[in-house]
């Protein structure tokens, strides 16, 4: 049995961190669903940037939308939603079979709105309505400015993938924003079963400390942070506050491991998949990591509910002069700036493609 199937049967959802029109049109995504136990996917501006820039798969659609007077962000979101609707339909049987727990795809709001709560909420509502699919998450960053938007979007009934979380503290802040939205729905007499995931980024921790810690600590920080966050996650799920919400019909916000492709060439190419196996979580992985897991991956023990040796591991990083709290804030800030950079590059690609296609027509 493939390791992908074993991991799925352990209770962890395997999502693909990629989408291209080619994946859809060639049947590759369908094959990943059937053969590699993939039950969802995530997207981001960088993924779409590469897909549009490095192929001609979108050219005809861009021409049509240009003829309709579309351009810039509006044109991009229509291209993205065309892909994500197709993907959502492929995952719809999973969504129906799991009663909405699994089978999701994700689309990100413009990162240019990261410091504009009101506009983020408006765009989240608009994109979800435009998608017309129940199994589509809108991604909102869990930055301090994003937290009110997360609460308001959940209160409005929009399923949210909270992205750009790096630490236990950032996760707890996002989870509380989610729960405030749910509690407001309960108080207002609205259905509280609005779905959400909270995405913790892993590999960027280890990239950030490479060369700054003893070699024995390489590729250990992201996993230690994940263990501590997993303990906090289980604590919330079993807390009286969350249980009261379940009793009113709410569903839990699931924890998602993101940025799980190995960056260290000396480490296992399935390091973060093997280390982060845990029931009732999601691992969204790059295509190469998914294939490696299916080909030669081996799984060990699942994450310990009590966090295992996370505190001891983090103490070793403190001894190495790594301020984990400060680094988590730095990583989130850098991540937000990176999203803006990717978005601007994507808009540049849309613009240059549009101009080239206009000249060629």
| Cα(43)–Cα(137) distance, integer angstroms | 10
Give me the catalytic one of 139, 227, 231, 353: 139
* Residue 290 neighbours by CB under 8 Å, 6+ apart: 4, 14, 16, 32, 36, 38
pTM, whole model, 2 decimals? 0.96
CA distance 235 to 228: 11
Over the stretch 301-334, which tens digit does the pLDDT of each residue have?
999 999 999 999 999 999 999 999 999 999 999 9
DSSP-based three-state secondary structure for 163: strand
Reading across the β-sheet that carries 105-108, which strands appear in turn? 38-41, 12-16, 281-285, 254-258, 196-201, 160-165, 136-141, 105-108
The residue behind tokens 């996993």 is: 223
110 secondary structure, DSSP code: P
Say whether 263 is catalytic. no
In order of their start, the domains of the chain are 3-360 (3.20.20.70)
Residues 6+ apart with CB under 8 A from 13: 39, 40, 102, 254, 281, 282, 283
Of 296, 295, 293, nearest to 277 (Cα)? Answer: 293
- Say what the pLDDT of residue 360 is: 82
CB atoms within 10 A of CB 131: 20
List, for the chain, all residue ranges whose pLDDT scores fall below the cut of 70: none
Q: How far is CA 351 from the centre of its chain?
A: 27
Instruction: Say how far residue 331 (Cα) sits from the centre of its chain.
Output: 16
Which pair of structure tokens corresponds to residue 295? 């080909």
Residue 115, pLDDT score: 79
**For position 113, what pLDDT does the model report?**
87
Nearest to 340 by CA among 38, 110, 71: 110
Q: At what angle do helices 168-187 and 221-237 cross, to 10 degrees?
A: 20
């Amino acid at each position: 049995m493939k390791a992908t199937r074993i991991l799925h049967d352990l209770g962890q959802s395997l999502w693909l961190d990629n989408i291209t029109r080619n994946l859809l049109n060639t049947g590759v995504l369908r094959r990943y669903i059937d053969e590699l136990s993939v039950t969802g996917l995530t997207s981001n501006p960088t993924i779409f940037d590469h897909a549009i820039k490095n192929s001609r798969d979108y050219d005809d659609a861009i021409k049509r939308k240009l003829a309709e007077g579309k351009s810039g962000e509006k044109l991009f979101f229509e291209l993205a939603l065309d892909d994500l609707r197709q993907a959502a339909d492929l995952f719809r049987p999973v969504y129906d079979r799991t009663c909405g727990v699994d089978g999701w795809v994700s689309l990100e709001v413009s990162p240019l709105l990261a410091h504009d709560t009101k506009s983020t909420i408006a765009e989240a509502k608009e994109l979800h309505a435009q998608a017309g699919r129940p199994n589509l998450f809108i991604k909102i960053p869990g930055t301090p400015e994003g937290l009110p938007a997360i609460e308001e979007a959940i209160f409005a009934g929009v399923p949210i993938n909270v992205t750009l979380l790096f630490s236990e503290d950032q996760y707890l802040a996002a989870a509380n924003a989610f729960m405030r939205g749910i509690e407001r729905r309960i108080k207002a007499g609205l259905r509280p079963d609005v779905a959400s995931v909270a995405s913790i980024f892993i590999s960027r921790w280890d990239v950030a400390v490479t060369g700054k810690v003893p070699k024995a600590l390489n590729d250990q920080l992201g996993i230690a942070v994940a263990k501590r966050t997993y303990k906090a996650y289980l604590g919330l799920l079993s807390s009286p506050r969350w249980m009261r919400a379940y009793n009113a019909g709410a569903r839990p916000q699931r924890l998602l491991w993101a940025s799980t492709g190995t960056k260290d060439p000396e480490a296992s190419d399935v390091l973060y998949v093997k280390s982060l196996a845990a029931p009732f979580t999601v691992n969204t992985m790059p295509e190469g990591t998914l294939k490696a897991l299916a080909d030669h991956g081996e799984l060990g023990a699942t994450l310990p509910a009590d966090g295992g040796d996370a505190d001891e591991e983090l103490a070793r990083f403190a001894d190495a002069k790594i301020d984990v709290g400060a680094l988590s804030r730095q990583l989130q800030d850098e991540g937000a700036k990176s999203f803006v950079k990717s978005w601007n590059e994507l808009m540049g690609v849309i613009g240059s493609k549009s101009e080239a296609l206009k000249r060629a027509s």
